[in-house]
């Protein structure tokens, strides 16, 4: 008799298997019909999204519990594959699947005239499947495999226009920089496995709680694992790859920033929170890495003129806020972080797709060549306005609620330095967000001659914008429901002190942007003159991190290798080789007279040698 498994046990596997299998079928469907290929990829992504949503009732019935489903993987060594069903894994799967499917739908219009779409849809589905597999994995080893799949897809999609040198370089840069974090993650995973004998998250947590790991080992492994998160979520000092990742199609940028790749690091930190939260040093490192990244990258966005790079720096900053909240070390901080993951996924996907809609119309990424587009693209303008209000933290949009929770969590733990850093980051966020909106949709039209040709994007592109805008507007009101879904006791709620700080940062950021970019009372040229010129240069160069890294790894490392070759290899190693050869030649010349060619003489020498050998052995053994 065949046992029929309940649907709830199929869904956690199908949510990532369907996109992965679908990606493999994309080239086959493309042989039949190109249009069918496009819609096949879209429908496949929506089916995966439906399966992710179907797991919500099961999670609610768990009331904060966990279900770990396992199947044999490598029976010879007792290794099992599994899926972990809890509020965190299902939530992240919903983010990846649902937002990913909207981006796939948007791609039908945005990528319609591009070449290489079979490759594009293959990697987009593979990306979504890899991210779902990553968040549903119940063990470190399985997570790491999908972690690498996500990295491979990002490399391929960032460099999608590989004939363009800057795109090819950006893909390679993303691959190499994130690999630095991946190596740290792998070492950390192996350290935990050696100590606990298991890759499973739950078993590792039990081992830590039982005190089976030495404090030093636990601290080292926690920092190494977080190193992987720093690479994937582009946190300081491995943040340099993400701005260049804008070389890929805007839909790829939206997927990376809102639903996959960079969220993987935040997920890993949240997943291992219960394992490492007892390590005070880990919490401090997480908090300060996050808060420093939040402020540093927010200041970079203030001077960028590229429509997508501003959003890229914004993503870095918002990820910093999520990481900071996790480092707080409390349930309130963990909840605030995940609530902001949801908020950011919605408004950042919205903003990137709005940017794509604008680029689709004007054909440039330079905001200085835009302006006045609100009259020609009313839907894109309205939805962009929603995205900016949410990103800036304007009530009642979702960013206001989640940012307020982060400020409250940090303030409650009296972490004043991180609090100052995220306050300044929020101030900068409001400033660059409204600057972004003003440069694109307000002011004069620099391309007035082309204004007659400007038009709103097609329905297949604007429908996802409207859905995301509605979600960004309404989702903030579901804080209590989200808290209940995550299995937490209660939400934090609105508190006067953090509310005041959040609104003050919003106001202080909005006023200068309004004066300079909306009213035009002050020319933005003042920021590039006098004493401000050096600061402007510093920010536009990204604090010179790229130049420093290039000087060390692209210039310095080859120079070091050249010095080693000339000074060590030529002068030391070669001299040793010559000395060894000379010594061998000297010894051969010295012993040559002993080889007379006389057989009697040779036999006598052998016998004397053997006798001497046996005498030495007898002395050593005490005979």
User: How far is residue 379 from each of residues 136, 204, 383, 463, measured CA to CA in Å?
Assistant: 36, 50, 6, 10
Are 199 and 74 a contacting pair, CB within 8 Å?
A: no
Rounded Cα gap, residues 341 and 315, in angstroms: 11
The dihedral sign for the CA sequence 41, 43, 49, 51: negative
For the ranges 168-177, 336-345, 589-598, the lowest mean pLDDT is seen at: 589-598
- What is the overall mean pLDDT for the chain? 90
For the ranges 1-10, 30-39, 59-68, the lowest mean pLDDT is seen at: 1-10
Which contiguous run of DSSP H or E holds residue 134? helix 117-136
Are 104 and 9 a contacting pair, CB within 8 Å?
A: no
Nearest to 93 by CA among 43, 58, 128: 128
Q: Which residues contact 252 (CB under 8 A, 6 or more apart)?
A: 124, 157, 158, 160
Q: Is the pTM of this model over 0.85?
A: yes
Please report, rounded to a whole number, the percentage of residues in the chain having pLDDT higher than 90: 70
Q: Is the pLDDT of residue 97 over 90?
A: yes
Domain boundaries, the chain: 294-531, 548-585+599-621
Nearest to 366 by CA among 309, 315, 314: 309
Nearest to 126 by CA among 227, 245, 27: 27
Rounded Cα gap, residues 24 and 143, in angstroms: 21
Q: Outline where DSSP puts E strands in 350-454.
A: none
Q: Is the pLDDT of residue 477 over 50?
A: yes
* pLDDT confidence of residue 82: 92
DSSP state of 80: E
Residue 418, token pair as written in the block: 């991180």
Determine how β-strand 67-74 pairs with β-strand 79-85: antiparallel
User: How far is residue 229 from each of residues 81, 162, 275, 331, measured CA to CA in Å?
Assistant: 22, 27, 15, 20
Residue 39, token pair as written in the block: 């819609």
Would you place residue 2 in the very low, low, confident or very high pLDDT band (cuts 50, 70, 90)? very low
Are 146 and 186 a contacting pair, CB within 8 Å?
A: no
> Using N-to-C axis directions, what is the helix angle for 280-301 and 416-441, rounded to 10°?
30
User: How far is residue 117 from each of residues 36, 123, 144, 584, measured CA to CA in Å?
Assistant: 12, 10, 28, 66
Greatest alpha-carbon span in the chain? 112
Higher pLDDT, 193 or 485: 193
Q: Is the pLDDT of residue 591 over 80?
A: no
């Amino acid at each position: 008799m065949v046992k029929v498994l309940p649907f709830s046990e199929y869904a956690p596997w199908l949510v990532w298997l369907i996109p992965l299998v679908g990606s493999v079928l994309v080239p086959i469907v493309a042989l039949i019909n190109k249009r069918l290929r496009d819609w096949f990829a879209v429908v496949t992504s929506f089916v995966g999204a439906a399966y992710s949503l179907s797991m919500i009732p099961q999670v609610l019935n768990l009331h904060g519990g966990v279900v770990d489903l396992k199947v044999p993987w490598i029976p010879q060594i007792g290794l099992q594959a599994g899926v972990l069903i809890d509020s965190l894994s299902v939530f992240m799967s919903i983010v990846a699947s649902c937002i990913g499917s909207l981006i796939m739908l948007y791609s039908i219009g945005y990528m319609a005239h591009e070449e290489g779409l079979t490759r594009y849809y293959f990697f987009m589905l593979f990306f979504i499947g890899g991210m779902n597999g990553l968040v549903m994995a119940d063990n470190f080893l399985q997570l790491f495999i999908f972690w690498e799949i996500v990295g491979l897809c990002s490399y391929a999609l960032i460099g999608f226009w590989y004939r363009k040198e800057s795109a090819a370089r950006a893909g390679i840069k993303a691959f190499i920089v994130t690999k630095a974090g991946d190596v740290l993650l792998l070492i950390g995973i192996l350290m935990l496995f050696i100590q606990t004998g298991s890759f499973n998250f739950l078993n590792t947590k039990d081992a830590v709680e039982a005190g089976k790991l030495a404090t030093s080992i636990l601290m080292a492994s926690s920092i190494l694992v977080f190193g992987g998160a720093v690479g994937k979520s582009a946190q300081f000092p491995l943040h340099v790859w993400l701005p260049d990742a804008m070389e890929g199609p805007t839909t790829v940028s939206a997927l990376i920033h809102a639903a996959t790749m960079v969220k993987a690091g935040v997920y890993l930190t949240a997943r291992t929170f219960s394992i490492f939260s007892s390590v005070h040093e880990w919490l401090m490192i997480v908090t300060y890495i996050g808060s420093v990244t939040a402020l540093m990258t927010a200041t970079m966005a203030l001077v960028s003129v590229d429509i997508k790079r501003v959003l890229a720096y914004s993503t870095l900053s918002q990820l910093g806020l999520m990481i900071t909240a996790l480092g707080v070390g409390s349930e309130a901080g963990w909840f605030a972080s995940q609530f902001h993951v949801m908020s950011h996924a919605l408004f950042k996907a919205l903003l990137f797709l709005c940017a794509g809609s604008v680029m689709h119309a004007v054909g440039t990424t330079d905001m200085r060549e835009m302006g006045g587009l609100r009259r020609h693209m009313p839907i894109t303008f309205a939805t962009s306005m929603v995205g900016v209000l949410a990103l800036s933290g304007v009530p009642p949009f979702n960013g206001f609620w989640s940012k307020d929770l982060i400020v409250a969590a940090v303030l409650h733990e009296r972490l004043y330095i991180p609090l100052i850093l995220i306050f300044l980051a929020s101030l900068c966020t409001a400033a660059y967000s409204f600057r972004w909106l003003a440069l694109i949709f307000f002011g004069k039209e620099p391309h007035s001659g082309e204004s007659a040709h400007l038009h709103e994007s097609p329905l297949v592109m604007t429908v996802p914008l409207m859905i995301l805008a509605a979600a960004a507007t309404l989702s903030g009101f579901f804080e209590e429901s989200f808290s209940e879904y995550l299995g937490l006791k209660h939400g934090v709620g609105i508190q006067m002190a953090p509310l005041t700080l959040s609104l003050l940062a919003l106001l202080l950021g909005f006023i200068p942007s309004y004066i300079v970019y909306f009213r035009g009372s002050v020319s933005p040229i003042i920021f590039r003159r006098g004493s401000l010129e050096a600061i402007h240069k510093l920010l536009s160069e990204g604090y010179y991190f790229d130049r420093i890294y290039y000087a060390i790894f692209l210039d310095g490392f080859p120079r070091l290798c050249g010095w080693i070759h000339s000074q060590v290899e030529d002068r030391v190693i070669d001299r040793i080789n010559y000395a060894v050869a000379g010594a061998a030649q000297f010894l051969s010349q010295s012993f040559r007279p002993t080889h007379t060619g006389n057989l009697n003489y040779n036999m006598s020498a052998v016998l004397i040698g053997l006798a001497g050998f046996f005498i030495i052995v007898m002395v050593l053994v005490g005979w």
